[in-house]
Amino acid sequence: MKQKLSLLVTCLALLCMIGCTSPNTGEKQSYAPIKVEVPERPAGQQDVIQLTTPKLETVRVGFIGLGMRGPGAVSRFTHIPGTQIVALCDLVPENVEKCQNILTKAGLPKAAAYTNDEEAWKQLCQRDDIDLVYIATDWKHHAQMGIYAMEQGKHVAIEVPSAMTLEEIWALINTSERTRKHCMQLENCVYDFFELTTLNMAQQGLFGEVLHVEGSYIHNLEEFWGEYWNNWRLDYNNEFRGDVYATHGLGPACQLLDIHRGDRMKTLVAMDTKAATGPMLAEKYGVSKDSINFQNGDHTMTIIRTENGKTIQIQHDVMNPRPYSRMYQLTGTNGFANKYPVEQYCLRPEQVKEGEVPNHENLNMHSAVSKEVKEALMKKYKHPIHQELEEIAKKVGGHGGMDFIMDYRLVYCLQNGLPLDMDVYDLAEWCSLAELGRISIENGNAPVEVPDFTRGGWNKVKGYRHAYVK
C-alpha cells in the first residue's frame, strides 16, 4: 500500500512539473531553463551586425590546411576574378606541393609555402600582403587560427564547425568586434540550389509565415574515417557529446527564420541514443583504448524554440548506414517545402495565381504539387545569386557548385565593401549546439537557454537578406 501511495505521489508531482494549472491563480507554472552565462561586452567594443569594411580591389588570400577541403578551395579561387593566392600552409609538404600544382595548371605563379612546422601558420598570418586567411584544418585548430589571424589584421573564413566550445565562440566574437574584421563560417549548404530557391520563395511570402524548420546532417562516414589526419574527427566524437556538426542543417533553417535579424534562438532541448557504432569505430581506428567511455551517441536530436514562437529540429548521425540527408524542410501557414528524400512543395491553391504556372486547377493542399508545377515554381523564384552564378558554379564544382558560390559571394562582398552573407553571430549560433546540446543531455535532457550572442542586437535588422551593389 505504501509503495502504491508513493508511486501515486511521484506521478502527481511529475504531472505538475510538466505544467499543471494552479488552483489559486489559474496560471500554468513555468520552469526556467538552465541558464548559460552571457559575458559582458568588453569596454569600447561594438557589435559587428551588418559590418562593412573598406573595399578590396584585389582580395589577397592565404590558405591554411590543404588536406581534405583545402585543395578544392584553392582550385575554386583560381576561377574567381580579382583574387590573388599569396600563400599556402600545411604540415605535410606533399599537400602544399599538390596545391602549387593546381596554381601552375591554372597558369598562376606559385605561392609562398609554409610547411614542416606546427607554428608555420602564424608566419602566414603575419604577412602584410594578405587580406583574407582561409582556414580548412582540423576542427580543433579552427578558432585558435581565426582569432590569431584577425589579431594580425586579417579577415578570416573558417571551415565548419568554426568553434567547438562556448569559450571559443565568445573569443571569436570578441576578436571580430575588437578588430572590426570579418569572421565568416564557410557553410556551403546555404547556397544549395533548392535551399536558396526556397529561401527566395519564403522571403517573397509564398509559404506565409514560416513556423517550423527541420535540418540535419545524416551522412554515413564509414568510407572516410581513415582519411582524417590523426583521426581528429572520430577523436572529437569520442571525447565530446552533443551535435558536433550542426551547421549544415541549422544554417539554412536560421536564414529562413531570420535568426538575429528579427528573431533569436531562445531555448533548446537535446537528447541522443547510446553510443553503439562509435565505440566500435574507436577501437578499429585506435582512437580509444577504453571504448566503453565513448561520449557521443550515434544519433543526436535537438529541438529549438525561438523568441517569436517558431521551432527548429536538428539531427546528427554520421555512424550508421542511412541515405545522405540534410532533411531541409519548412512548414508555413500557406505552404510546405522538403528536399530529402524527395524535393517537393505543397501550397494552398490561392498562393499561385492563374497563368503563373501550369495546371493551376490541379494544385492540392493535401499533396505535393506536380513535377511540372514544381519546376515552374523553381524557375520563377530562382534566386538572383543562382541567376548570376549557376552556370559557372556547376562547371567549377564543389558539392555541385554551392562551394564555388560560397567563395564567390565572400570575395564579392569584400571587394564591394558589403556585409557578408554570414557573420560571426551566425557562426556562434550554428556552432553553439555542440556544447549547449551536451549541457541538455547531461542534465536529463533539460531545457537550456541559448545565449544571445549579439548581446542585445538580435532585433536591430528586420529580415535576412543578401547584400548587393546598388
Please state, in angstroms and rounded to a whole number, the distance separating the CA atoms of residues 368 and 350.
Answer: 15
Q: Are residues 66 and 142 in the same domain?
A: yes
158: domain CATH number? 3.40.50.720
Q: Are residues 281 and 179 in the same domain?
A: no
Domain membership flag for residue 388: no
Domain tally for the chain? 2
Q: What b/e string do you get for 25-42 counting C-beta neighbours within 10 Å, with b at 16 or more?
A: eeeeeeeebeeeeeeebe
33 touches 446 (CB < 8 A): yes
Per-residue pLDDT tens, the chain, 470 aa: give them.
444 444 443 343 434 444 444 455 556 667 799 999 999 999 999 999 999 999 999 999 999 999 999 999 999 999 999 999 999 999 999 999 999 999 999 999 999 999 999 999 999 999 999 999 999 999 999 999 999 999 999 999 999 999 999 999 999 999 999 999 999 999 999 999 999 999 999 999 999 999 999 999 999 999 999 999 889 999 999 989 999 999 999 999 999 999 999 999 999 999 999 999 999 999 899 886 655 689 999 999 999 999 999 999 999 999 999 999 999 999 999 999 999 999 999 998 766 665 666 555 555 557 899 999 999 999 999 999 999 999 999 999 999 999 999 999 999 999 999 999 999 999 999 999 999 999 999 999 999 999 999 999 999 999 999 999 98
434: domain CATH number? 3.30.360.10
Question: Residues with Cβ < 8 Å from 55, sequence gap 6 or more?
Answer: 414, 415, 416, 417
Domain membership flag for residue 46: no
Q: Are residues 174 and 195 in the same domain?
A: no
User: Domain ends where: 126, 161, 186?
Assistant: 186
The helix/strand/coil state of 401 is helix
For the CA atoms of the chain, what is the radius of gyration?
Answer: 24
Q: Are residues 99 and 125 in the same domain?
A: yes
Q: Are residues 175 and 213 in the same domain?
A: no
User: Domain ends where: 186, 207, 238?
Assistant: 186
Q: Give the distance, in angstroms, between the CA of residue 316 and the centroid of all CA atoms in the same chain.
A: 13
The sign one gets for the Cα dihedral 342, 348, 351, 354 is positive
Q: Are residues 353 and 365 in the same domain?
A: yes
Domain membership flag for residue 415: no
- The owner of cell 508531482 is 13
Q: Are residues 108 and 167 in the same domain?
A: yes
The sign one gets for the Cα dihedral 427, 428, 430, 434 is positive
User: Domain ends where: 158, 186, 214?
Assistant: 186
Residue 378: HSE in the Cβ half-sphere, 13 Å Cα cutoff:
19
Q: Are residues 165 and 296 in the same domain?
A: no
Question: Whole domain around residue 127: which residue ranges?
Answer: 59-186
pTM for the structure as a whole: 0.91
Q: Are residues 311 and 367 in the same domain?
A: yes
